[in-house]
Structures are given as structure tokens and as C-alpha cells.
Structure 1
Amino acid sequence: MVKYNEEFKVRIVLEYLKGELGYSKLAKKYGVKSHQQIINWVLAYQKYGVEGLTRKNINEIYSVQFKLDVLNFRKRTGASLTETALHFGLTNPPMISSWNKKFLEGGAEALDQPKGRPAMSDKAKNVKRSTQPAPQDTLTREQKLERENELLRLEVAYLKKLKAFQMDPDGYLEKHKQRYHSNSKKNFD
């Protein structure tokens, strides 16, 4: 995937806003793979200004609850990926598709799994891989039960929110509107 710098994005957005060229022609002129990318940049610029075009921390970790809220919002409202991303202040709309795929394949637990491979410590690099037990084998029965319990708590909280929304969608959205916006900018370490 090609990464575009902020100046490049701003130049294209401003050229689009002048009204001389449309999305497709700008994509062709500047060699952008898809005109949809330019649409996303224009919408982000219109909602957040230049800050909407800057790359956020790539390694930002979102909570499982936040991911479930995003997916639930999209399902309830029928919003597009771009509209949902703008609503929650996300700069990468395809990430929502990835969350949805994980959720459909493995439920809420799949959303809790970190992306990529965990970093190896210096000690682990020196020890042969075959002598180390798998991380799942090292969990005690109590730890496994605690993890399952936490996932069940998350699921119950999600279902409660879904029920509250179904009973009064407008009231629910109004009550939680500010929280969604502030949660999307947090960096959970």
C-alpha cells in the first residue's frame, strides 16, 4: 500500500476544492490508485481540516469495546466505511472492514488479539524455539477462566448497549456522542 505524505494530500484536496477536476481525473493526474482514496481525503479535510489528513500513530491500539461500538454504529445506521470512520475520528476506513471480518470469524475475542507478531525479547532470541512452550500452554486454568470471564463481561456490556440503542436510538446516540469522539483520540498503551 502506498503511503502519501501530508503535503501531497493537501495539494490534491485543495485542487479538488477549486472545482477544476473531479476525483477520477485527479487520481489519474497524480497516480493515486483509486479515486475513493481522494474522496476519503476530501471528507476528512472537510470535517477535521489539515489534521484529518495527517497519519495518526500507526500502532495505536483501540479497545475491544470501542471496536464493538464502531461496528454496532455502522450496522445500526447503515453508514459507509468512510462515514463511520469520520464519525469516530478514524483516518483509516478499511480498518473497520478488518475489525468486522475478525468479529464475524471469531467474535469479540478475535477483536482483542493484537495485530502482527509479538516482539521477541533478547533472552527469547537466544533460546531455541522448540524448547519454549506455546504462550497458551503457560496460562494456568485460573488465568484462562479469568480471560473467558472478561470476554463474557464485554459481550454482556455490548448486548446491553445494543438493547439500549434499540429502545431509544436518538437518545442513546445523543447521550454517547461526546464519548465516542473523545475515545477515538485516546492512545491506549
Structure 2
Amino acid sequence: MSKYSKQFKLAVVKRYQEGSTGYKAVAHQYEINHSFVRNWVKQYALHGEAGLDKKFSHYSAEFKLSVLQYMWDKQLSYRETAILFDIRNLNILSNWERSYHSGGIQALIPRTRGRPKAMSPPKKVQPQPAKTDESRSREELLEEVNYLRMENAYLKKLKALVQEQALEASLKKRK
């Protein structure tokens, strides 16, 4: 949420427009910085009430370059350029300019934000359709029978072990 609401900004702008007072006097009356008043008045003059709304923008590299080119061609200040293109953060223009001078157009391309994903999504493995017993070879069937026999023997031993532990526990309780 922004520090100042749209209604507050509009009231400040209207107060400035109705009187013969300057930016500093209006700012002093509302106890804010005079540069806010100046920016809000200019935003309102160029863009109307929409210029006072909070704005979340992501700019393409082409847009950034065109803004910088326009600023250089017309020899505008950061403030004038930001107000003209409805860019709310004045400092972003200096960042764009510095990036462009250090890395060219590639430096203006927006980068993804945030932490990279730790893991890629799991690949879905398609289960192979089960073969019918008639289509399987003798070796495959014998291999499955041996596997099932080992599994059965393991489960029998596990069951015997659990029963033995239960019996020992019940004998200890009797003592």
C-alpha cells in the first residue's frame, strides 16, 4: 500500500491549483516534502486522476531504450521524462541509463526475480502395459515365480519374527 492515498494526493493537487501559494507552502500545510507536491501536480496535469493512482509496471527492454533515447534527444531531465512517460519511480531512469551504458540493450532486458526452483518437476513415467501370461516367455514366467516365492518366504519370516516378539513381551509381563 502506498504511503499516500489517491484522495490525499488529489486534495493536495486541488489545494495547489485553487490558491496562489507555491509548492513549498502547500507542502508545509500538509507536512510533506515539496517535491511530492510538484510531482503530483505535474502527473495530474499530464494524466489526470489516473496519474495519481498507484502503478505497478514492468517495462520491456525496447520501451526502456525508447524512453532513454527520447530523453537524450530532447535533453530532458529524469523528472521530466518520468512524468511524460508516466513512470512513477524517478530513480529507475538513472538505473536504466547506467545499465545501458555498462551493458547495452542486453542489460535492459528484465530478469526473472526470486529464488530459482530447487528441483525440476518430476518426469512422468508411463507404465508399460502388463503382458498377459500367454505372451510371456518361459524364462519370464519362471523369473516371476521365483520372485514371488522369495517374497512369500520373506513375509513368512517377518510374521514369525513379529509373533516371537509378541510372545516374549507377553512372557515378560507375566513375570
Q: TM-score range by the shorter chain?
A: 0.5 to 0.7
Q: Map 1:75-86 onto structure 2 (within 5 A).
A: 75-86=72-83
Amino acid at match of 1:79: L
Give the alignment's TM-score, normalised by structure 1.
Answer: 0.55
Counterpart residue number, 1:47: 46
Give the alignment's TM-score, normalised by structure 2.
Answer: 0.59
> Quick check: 1:99–1:111 contact (8 Å CA) kept in 2?
yes
Amino acid at match of 2:81: T
Q: 1:51/1:101 Cα in 2 relative to 1: closer, same or farther (>3 Å)?
A: same
Amino acid at match of 1:78: Q
1:87 has 2:84 as partner: yes
Amino acid at match of 2:87: L
Q: Map 1:105-184 onto structure 2 (within 5 A).
A: 105-114=102-111, 117-121=113-117, 124=118
Q: Take 2:94 and 2:3, find their aligned partners in 1: how far apart are those partners?
A: 19
Counterpart residue number, 1:143: none
Shift of 1:104: 2.2
Query: How much identity, in percent, do the aligned residues show?
Result: 35
Q: Take 2:71 and 2:108, find their aligned partners in 1: how far apart are those partners?
A: 16
| Residue ranges of structure 1 left out of the alignment (5+ in a row) | 128-189
Shift of 1:77: 0.4
Structure with the greater relative contact order (CA < 8 A, sep ≥ 6): 1 or 2?
1
Q: Map 1:17-56 onto structure 2 (within 5 A).
A: 17-33=17-33, 35-56=34-55
Please identify the structure whose Cα radius of gyration is greater: 2
